[in-house]
Structure 1
Amino acid sequence: MAEFDFLQALEAARAKYDSIVKALDVERLSSEIAELQEEATRPDLWNDTEHAQKVTSALSNKQSLVKKLDVINSRLDDAQTLFELGQEEDDKGSMDEAEHVVDSLKNDLDELEIETLLDGEYDERSAVVTIRSGAGGVDAADFAQMLMRMYLRWSERHGYKVKVMDTSYAEEAGIKSATFQVDAPYAYGRLSVEGGTHRLVRISPFDNQGRRQTSFAAVEVVPLVEATDHIDIPDSDIRVDTYCSSGPGGQGVNTTYSAVRITHLPTNIVVTMQDERSQIQNRAAAMAVLQSRLLVLRHEEEARKKKELAGDIKASWGDQMRSYVLHPYQMVKDLRTGYETSQTQAVFDGDIDGFIDAGIRWRHEQRRIEEQEEG
């Protein structure tokens, strides 16, 4: 790499670093860390275990973010010093090493930049994901299970804690639906760009004539509700049904009426839960998911009203958002961002960060455009 190229790359890296520091508002971040540190030292903190875990998790994440910024800044300084020393001493090895450092920092800065774009109202929360099979019969049910595995593998890659809350198995193969919770900072902000209709094109393994089949599955992502969200659900607005759980779980689960189905009558939203052994636990979990969905519904209605007032009504961007083609060629393509890859097996094994990052950038740009139009 020529000297001009190195200096240009270093300048670009520093410019991106500065924009990230500005977007994260490091002074505010430091103030929040100080407040959390003070709260974390309170002797009665662990009287409320759930709150204590949130405080310590938030503190750890914010401290980690500041540390990342400090490390990147230090590596940028080191790279510049190393390159200048290499020039003075005509040491090509030092200059090559400096170039390698700047090149590797580009990926670190790109990842950090994504975090600055997760600035939505609920982005920093954990996520509740529901997958439902759509048109396509048994292939659709199988596809829904493939998607569930994909997201579970993605969570596993990142070390995120996952809890499967409900699974409804299809008769022949696959699943009719499944709901699971991903507990991690910004899980909702990242996974929310996965919401919408997914399409699979392949030679059906369930067709004895080997014909090509197109099938669909819907992915819904909502933020985990918190006590401060104030979603009131009167008892008169819900119908609660209980039934025996199905699928794996043992005799104790399958022979008692522990599974719960809650129907929200005004919106016809239905939530089922059968993961817990107790009907009381399943009802509590189902109510939490129902509150999450109503929270998102309220947020969407508020956004829709704003667009109506602005005289600009657009279709939802979530529908038909991605195609997975396994025949006659291998390709996974996001129809919103244009991001694509021919590594289909890697995608189904959970390698979807490229799609998620592209989706986050696309969503941020759409919000920016909308704000300009409203302004």
Structure 2
Amino acid sequence: MAAIDFSEEIPHLRATLTSIEKVTDLDALTRTIADLEQQASAPDLWDDVENAQKVSSALSHAQAERRRVDDLSSRIDDLEVMVQLAAEEDDADTRAEAEKEFASIRKALDELEVRTLLSGEYDERSAVVTIRSGAGGVDAADFAEMLLRMYLRWAERHGYTTKVMDTSYAEEAGLKSVTFEVDAPYAYGTLSVEGGTHRLVRISPFDNQGRRQTSFAAVEVIPLIESTDSIEIPESDLKIDVFRSSGPGGQSVNTTDSAVRMTHLPTGVVVSMQDEKSQIQNRAAALRVLQSRLLLLKKQEEDAKRKELAGDIKASWGDQMRSYVLNPYQMVKDLRTEHTEGNPQAVFDGEIDDLIEAGIRWRVGQQRQNAED
């Protein structure tokens, strides 16, 4: 392995950070933080609990975003000092430590740089993710639960807040479907590349003959609606059913009809909510997710119309976007980007940043190519 030429690499790190700072617009971010701090210090802030939580969350995220940039700047300064020290004292251990820190900074910069590629209309929103088991019976239901754990672990690694909003359990094991929210800046833009059909190949733990089984699960990612979005749904367009929330095996977790199933009659879109304790809360949550889905549906229809007018009806995503193979070999492969990971267990433990980053870079490349055609 070639030695790192720090005289070239450290200026390159600084140039990359400067580019990120320009795109991030630190002055605007500083003004946003000041404005949110002023709102957060208002004596009547908690008179409106929902707004107070929104302000507090936005402030926390903005401050964390600023710290990420400032910390990287400090780490590059410290790295330069470490390199000078290693050269002056001809200290191999210090140089090895500097090389390790360089790799860590490079990775952090790459992650931050990917954020600058998220410029879609809804990319900065929080995300609502729905996972549904597909073909493959009980293995597919188990796979859906494995994917849920994978995404929740990923969010936990990044310190993102998550909330499971609705769960439908399969009879034998696993999940028929699950919907959860990831509350973080750019959660939608980041996770939107995870949308599509996921495929698992393994020796089935549910097959007493130990045969290999292929199963599928679908992942849907939508941006979370905001109060400023204009998606009005007439009451006459809604069919609302109430029922009792239930846990695995049909065990009742609620003795009242608090769960809500909301159907949008013109489109057939159905949303169920059972996480909240009251019917009113579940109804509000269901309406918010329904508005989010209709907002995305509207945008997809507009995009499809534009493509049709331009004579481009080429699909952007294939039916199957990623394979997780546990037998006869161990590999996770994204079929769009060709990015592979050799440790599926680490992926299922939430180490999916490289897969997501490759997906975002691939998507940007596809958008640029389409713009040129």
Residue range with higher mean Cα deviation, 226-235 or 157-166: 157-166
- Cα distance between partner residues in 1 of 2:104 and 2:174: 41
SS in 2 for 1:117: coil
How big is the shift at 1:82?
5.0
TM superposition score normalised by structure 2: 0.89
Is the contact made by 1:195 and 1:318 (CA closer than 8 Å) also made in structure 2? Answer: no
For residues 61-90 of structure 1, the C-alpha deviation after alignment (integer angstroms, 9 at most, x for no partner) is 323333332332233344445545665676
- Within 5 Å, give how 1:218-297 maps onto structure 2: 218-247=218-247, 251=252, 253=254, 255-297=255-297
Q: How many residues align?
A: 372
AA aligned to 2:313 is: I
* Alignment match, 1:216: 216
Q: Note closer, same or farther for the CA distance 1:328–1:69 as it changes in structure 2 (3 Å cut).
A: same
Give the aligned partner of residue 66 of structure 1: 66
CA distance in 1 between partners of 2:86 and 2:252 (Å): 71
- Residue aligning to 2:174: 174
Q: What is the match of residue 108 of structure 2? A: 108
Q: CA deviation at 1:28?
A: 2.5
**Aligned mates of 2:45, 2:85 — CA distance in 1:** 51
For residue 101 of structure 1, report the CA deviation from its aligned partner. Answer: 4.0
Structure 1: which amino acid aligns with 2:225? V
TM-score between the two structures when normalised by the length of structure 1:
0.89
Write the distance in 2 (CA, Å) between the matches of 1:100 and 1:325. 31
SS of 1:229's partner is: coil
Corresponding residue for residue 335 of structure 2 = 335
Contact kept, 8 Å, 1:140 with 1:216, in 2: the verdict is yes
**Which residue of structure 2 aligns with residue 139 of structure 1?**
139
Residue 331 of structure 1 deviates from its aligned partner by 1.1
| Partner AA of 2:261 in structure 1 | R
Asked if 1 retains the 8 angstrom alpha-carbon contact of 2:199 and 2:216, the reply is: yes
Aligned partners of 1:197 and 1:319 also within 8 Å: yes
RMSD over aligned CA atoms reads 2.6
Kept in 1: contact 2:126–2:223 (CA 8 A): yes
Deviates more, 1:289-298 or 1:95-104: 95-104
CA contact (8 A) 1:13 1:102 kept: no
Residue deviations 1:77-136, cap 9 Å, x none?
444455456656766666665555434321221122122223322222222111111111
User: By how many angstroms is 1:246 displaced?
Assistant: 2.6
> d(CA) in 2 for partners of 1:329 and 1:95?
38
Specify whether residues 283 and 61 from structure 1 end up closer, same or farther in structure 2 by C-alpha distance, changes over 3 A only. closer
Counterpart of 1:213, as a letter, is: Q
For residues 229 and 143 of structure 1, the distance between their equivalents in structure 2, rounded to whole angstroms, comes to 34
Instruction: Quote the Cα distance in structure 2 between the aligned partners of 1:186 and 1:54.
Output: 15
Tell me, what secondary structure is at the counterpart of 2:245?
coil
Unaligned runs of 5+ in 1: none
- The Cα offsets for residues 312-370 of structure 1, whole Å up to 9 and x where unpaired, read as 22213163111111111111111112221121122222222221222222223223333
- From the superposition, tell whether residues 362 and 252 of structure 1 become closer, same or farther in structure 2 (CA, over 3 Å): closer
How far the C-alpha of 1:371 sits from its partner, in A, is 3.5
Partner of 1:38: 38
Partner of 1:300: 300
CA–CA distance in structure 2, aligned partners of residues 275 and 101 of structure 1? 43
Partner of 1:125: 125
Percent of aligned positions that are identical: 66
* 1:159 maps onto 2:159 in alignment: yes
Aligned residue for 2:6? 6
